[in-house]
Amino acid sequence: MLAMDGIDMIVIGAPNLFHCEIAVAAAKAGKHVVVEKPLCMNLAEADRMIEACKTAGVKLMYAEELCFTPKYVRLKALLDEGALGDPVLLKQSEKHDGPHADHFWDVERSGGGVTMDMGCHAIEFFRWMLGRPKIKSVYAQMGTHVHKDKTKGDDNAIIILEFENGVTAVAEESWTKLGGMDDRAEVHGTKGQAYADVLQGNSILTYSTQGVGYAVEKAGNTVGWSFTMYEEIWNYGFPQEFAHFVDCVKNNRQPSVTGEDGRAVLEAIYAAYESAGTGKKVYLPFKTDVDKPYKLWEK
Amino acid sequence: MNKKVGVGLVGSQFVSTIHAESLKMVPDAEIVAVASPTEAHAGNLPGITAFPIFLRMYTTCWQWTAST
Ligand SMILES: NC(=O)c1ccc[n+]([C@@H]2O[C@H](COP(=O)([O-])OP(=O)(O)OC[C@H]3O[C@@H](n4cnc5c(N)ncnc54)[C@H](O)[C@@H]3O)[C@@H](O)[C@H]2O)c1
């Protein structure tokens, strides 16, 4: 596939452990690269991916769709126009009842549990919302409460980030929340606050004695009350994300979310596992040669 | 670049379905190939029934051979 002239860009939707190998090969073949979250397994891989794309002169987009989620884009605009004053506290969380494929549960292939899988969304959300200041410290509390039979990874996590501009950000992540996906954010500022829920307020409040064929991602049982989502991928910003990168390729522009952003997120994820493992706040930059984040928590 | 941006997808299940569905909404893009260990999954991606080249993936990532 990489030898095909007709291909300008590759989109990597393979399990985490293959991201680096595929991205580097694609870059060497001169193809622009979109890579799903998390960027890859470790910081050495992140450096290789960024370097390979730089050397080959191809673009690398870290596919964090929350930077394109229409409700969050509007939320950021509120903060940017000053409607909320200066940011004080941000919150973001993603919760569902656990991943759909075995590679997510296997820490050797995923690198970690819910912090790796969904905490990555929150961390990039915070960075993007604040204009990407440096993260000063990370504190995390993790546990495996429901899925011990399935994974050595964390299935619930609270992650607290401190940014160099003084803003605190709190991420709550769960693989044990039943009854459909939850994705929401709060921005608390000196002059106001705003609450944005990606799935509530714009889904259809549904009651059915029959159950709903497809209501929402990871809906579970839909007999009785449920919420039915419409235009689900648009509400997450996926088409907008791809329109952006295709435009970058076509018109030689820089993607708004890059490999460097994905690397910064991964560094914070490593710091979170280190914090959960030691019970201490971890200051960045955090350097480690460990090849998978969960290992810092396990020790 | 005047032509459509040619896209190759790697993977063919959960998130790749979202990728294919999203790219259908981008007029300047065209998926021209899908690399996946499971051809049937690649064939099930939205908008990918009629055309392209499916590449079957063997044990390691980068040993592809074209199938259909
Ligand atoms: N942005 C998001 O919200 C989001 C959502 C889901 C998944 N993801 C990410 O996308 C990636 C894939 O997750 P998924 O949910 O689609 O998983 P999945 O199991 O549904 O699909 C994985 C795909 O990768 C293919 N694959 C496996 N090994 C491969 C290899 N060596 N080379 C090429 N392809 C291979 C599989 O055949 C399958 O088609 C993960 O990194 C995950 O974190 C992101």
Q: Is residue B27 part of a domain?
A: yes
Residue A108: count of CB within 10 angstroms of its CB = 12
Q: Is residue B66 part of a domain?
A: no
Q: What is the mean pLDDT of each run of 10 residues along chain B (68 residues)?
A: 90 95 96 82 74 49 39
The per-residue pLDDT for range A56-89, each reduced to its tens digit, is: 999 999 999 999 999 999 999 999 999 999 999 9
Show the domain range for B35: 5-59
Q: Is residue B10 part of a domain?
A: yes
* Residue B11 with chain A: CB contacts under 8 Å: 12-14
CATH code of the domain in which B25 resides: 3.40.50.720
Query: Contact A119/A297 with Cβ under 8 angstroms?
Result: no
Domain locations in chain A?
69-231
Q: Is residue B45 part of a domain?
A: yes
The per-residue pLDDT for range A123-178, each reduced to its tens digit, is: 999 999 999 999 999 999 999 999 999 999 999 999 999 999 999 999 999 999 99
- Give the span between the Cα atoms of A101 and A98, in whole angstroms: 9
Q: Is residue B67 part of a domain?
A: no
Q: Which residues of B touch A (CB under 8 A)?
A: 1, 5-16, 18-19, 21-23, 25-26, 28-29, 32-33, 35, 53, 55, 61-62, 64
The CA B14 to ligand 1 mean position distance, Å, reads 7
Complex ipTM: 0.96
Nearest CA owner, ligand 1 atom 17: B14
Fold of A69-231: Dihydrodipicolinate Reductase; domain 2 (3.30.360)
Q: Is residue B36 part of a domain?
A: yes
Q: Is residue B49 part of a domain?
A: yes
Distance set, CA A207 to CA A211, B17, B60 (Å): 8, 28, 47
Please count the structural domains in chain B: 1
* Residue B35 with chain A: CB contacts under 8 Å: 1
Nearest CA owner, ligand 1 atom 21: B13
Q: Compute and round to an integer the Cα radius of gyration of chain A.
A: 19
**Which of B15, B25, B62 lies at the smallest CB-CB distance from A239?**
B25
B61 lines ligand 1 (CB under 6 A): yes
* Angle B23-A132-A118 from CA coordinates, rounded to 5°: 55
pLDDT at A298 over 90: no
